[in-house]
C-alpha cells in the first residue's frame, strides 16, 4: 500500500501521465461512493494505468479536474490483475491532514481486492471462449460507452475491422481444430501490440474489431499495419504442411468527432471488403479509394435470393451489408451468377435490379440499378 499524509507534489505516476476519463461504469461509481462513506474523506478515486496514460474510472466528492489541486492527505492501494501485475490504484484523498486507523486502511485494501475480483469475473463473463477476446455483445457494449465518451470530450477515436483471408479453406483442408488454433494464435499475437484501453473483440467467426481511443486515422493505420505484418509472419504446421495466414483490414473514423458505433463499423467493414477486392493482405482506409461507398452501408445478416433468367432460376445468398445504392452478398460460390440479376430480400419486402461491380469466389458486391 502507498500512504502519505502530505503529498506535494503527487507521485510521478500521477503527475507525469496524461489523465483521460474512462466511460462511466455503475459498479466503479458505487465502489468509490461506498468507500468515501466508509473512510469519511472528501474524495475517492479508481484509476487504471495504461502505458503513459492513466484512465479515471470513477471518482466521487470532488470534480475530477479538482481532485489533485489541493491534496494534504492521500492513501492509495494498488489494483492487481490476476497475473499480479499492477493495473491501477484505488485512492482516498482529502484537503486536510488526517490519519486513517488500521481498520480503515484494511478496508481500503479489501475494496482493492474486490475490484481485482470484479475485473476477473467481468473478463470471464464477457470473453469469447476460444480467443479470450470480448464477445460481439460485450464489444458493442464497451464500444458504445467509449464512443459516447470520446464524442463528449472531442477525443480522437478510430475503428479497425479485419478478418482472416480464405479462412474457410483452412477449416476445409485441415479441420476445424486447425481453424481454432489459427484464431487463438491470432488473438494472442494481436494483443501484444494493443493497449489496455483498446477495445478488442471477436465479432463472429474469423471477424475481429478493435476500437482505438486517443488514436487518429494515421496512427490507427500504423497499428493495423503492425497487426497485419505480425499475422502474416505466423506459421502453422497442419498435416505435415506449413501454413501461413493473412488478414485484410479496414480502418474508419469520423472527422467531426461525433462518433456512432454503427457508422464506424459499417465504414470499416466497407473498407475491409475493398481490401479484399483489391488483393487481400492489405489495409484500406474508409473514404480513401474509389470503391468506398459514399452512402454508408449497414452491416446486416439477412436471407436473400438471386433471381435471373426471367426469374426462372434462383440462388440463395446471405446479405451481409445493405445501403441505399448497393449491397454485399455471400454465396457458396459465385461461379454461375450472371453480372445482372434481381435481388429479393423477403424480410424487407424488397426486390431490386442489381449489377455486379466486383466478385470473389464466395462474395459479390452489387450496385442497384
- Catalytic residue flag (residue 206): yes
How far is residue 169's CA from residue 191's CA, in Å, rounded to a whole number?
25
- How many other C-beta atoms lie within 10 A of the C-beta of residue 235? 10
Cell 466511460 locates to: 23
Catalytic residue among 206, 207, 225, 367: 206
- Cα–Cα distances (Å) from 107 to 4, 26, 62, 102, 104, in that order, read 17, 20, 21, 9, 5
Active site residues: 206
Amino acid at each position: 500500500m502507498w500512504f502519505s499524509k502530505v503529498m506535494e507534489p503527487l507521485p510521478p505516476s500521477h503527475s507525469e501521465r496524461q489523465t483521460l476519463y474512462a466511460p462511466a461504469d455503475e459498479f466503479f461509481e458505487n465502489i468509490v461512493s461506498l468507500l468515501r462513506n466508509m473512510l469519511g474523506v472528501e474524495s475517492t478515486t479508481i484509476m487504471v494505468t495504461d502505458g503513459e496514460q492513466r484512465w479515471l474510472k470513477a471518482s466521487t466528492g470532488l470534480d475530477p479536474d479538482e481532485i489533485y489541486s489541493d491534496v494534504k492527505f492521500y492513501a492509495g492501494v494498488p489494483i492487481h490483475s490476476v497475473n499480479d501485475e499492477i493495473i491501477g490504484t484505488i485512492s482516498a484523498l482529502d484537503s486536510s491532514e488526517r490519519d486513517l486507523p488500521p481498520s480503515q486502511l484494511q478496508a481500503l485494501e479489501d475494496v482493492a481486492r474486490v475490484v481485482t475480483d470484479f475485473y476477473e469475473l467481468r473478463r470471464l463473463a464477457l470473453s469469447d471462449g476460444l480467443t479470450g477476446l470480448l464477445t460481439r455483445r460485450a464489444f458493442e457494449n464497451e464500444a458504445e460507452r467509449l464512443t459516447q465518451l470520446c464524442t463528449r470530450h472531442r477525443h480522437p477515436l478510430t475503428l479497425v475491422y479485419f478478418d482472416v483471408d480464405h479462412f474457410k479453406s483452412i477449416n476445409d483442408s485441415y479441420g476445424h481444430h486447425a481453424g481454432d488454433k489459427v484464431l487463438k494464435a491470432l488473438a494472442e499475437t494481436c494483443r501484444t501490440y494493443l493497449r489496455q484501453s483498446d477495445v478488442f473483440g471477436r465479432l463472429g467467426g474469423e471477424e475481429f474489431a478493435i476500437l482505438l481511443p486517443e488514436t487518429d486515422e494515421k496512427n490507427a493505420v500504423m497499428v493495423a499495419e503492425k497487426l497485419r505484418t505480425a499475422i502474416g509472419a505466423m506459421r502453422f504446421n497442419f498435416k505435415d504442411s506449413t501454413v501461413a495466414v493473412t488478414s485484410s483490414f479496414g480502418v474508419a473514423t469520423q472527422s467531426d468527432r461525433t462518433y456512432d458505433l454503427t457508422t464506424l463499423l459499417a465504414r470499416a467493414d466497407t473498407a475491409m471488403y475493398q481490401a479484399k477486392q483489391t488483393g487481400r493482405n492489405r489495409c484500406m482506409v474508409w473514404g480513401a479509394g474509389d470503391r468506398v461507398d459514399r452512402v454508408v452501408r449497414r452491416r446486416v445478416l439477412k436471407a436473400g435470393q438471386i433471381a435471373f433468367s426471367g426469374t426462372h432460376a434462383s440462388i440463395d445468398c446471405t446479405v451481409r451489408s445493405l445501403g441505399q445504392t448497393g449491397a454485399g452478398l455471400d454465396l457458396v460460390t459465385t461461379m454461375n451468377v450472371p453480372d445482372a440479376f434481381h435481388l429479393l430480400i423477403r424480410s424487407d419486402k424488397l426486390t431490386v435490379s442489381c449489377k455486379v461491380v466486383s466478385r470473389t469466389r464466395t462474395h459479390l458486391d452489387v450496385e442497384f440499378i
